[in-house]
Structure 1
């Protein structure tokens, strides 16, 4: 992805609900909420693509070299929650694969 220094790919299965919830979970993990004041501390972009029974979540982000492990850990933690309720009040669930 052009414009971002780092990229990480995760896989999830058993997604029910809105695939955009996966990107929302990443933003919550990195910024505290998908609606936040100011710029993201770690600018990022998430994309979700179906792949058979799974979905591939690609997160491109900017972080200093020293912060990359922290950002990757936070993204993993956000996706590991396996659930997010969107702004419409509808919940989505999934299972992060290792």
Structure 2
């Protein structure tokens, strides 16, 4: 992803709900909530594309080298929960693949 030093790519299946929930889940992982005060600790951008039955979640992020593994771990861990309640109360679900 252009403009970011690092990238994490995950695939999810069986998405029920909004693809934007995947980006929201990443922001919750890295910032605590999608609505947060101040700058992100690790600036990031999430893009979601469809490839066959998968939704491909690509997270571009900036982090010091010492934090890169931690950011990747947090993104995967949050996406592995497979669930996010959006601001309107709608619950989106998915299954992390691989």
Task: Judge same fold: TM > 0.5, yes or no.
Answer: yes
Deviations 1:6-64 (A, max 9, x none): 01111000000000000000000000000000000000000001111111000000000
Q: Distance in 1 between matches of 2:2 and 2:15?
A: 28
1:59 alignment partner in structure 2: 59
- Tell me, what secondary structure is at the counterpart of 1:84? strand
Give ranges in structure 1 of 5+ residues lacking alignment: none
User: Cα RMSD between the aligned structures?
Assistant: 0.6
TM-score, with structure 1 as normaliser: 0.98
- Tell me, what secondary structure is at the counterpart of 1:67? helix
Give ranges in structure 2 of 5+ residues lacking alignment: none
Q: Distance in 2 between matches of 1:80 and 1:62?
A: 22
2:82 alignment partner in structure 1: 82
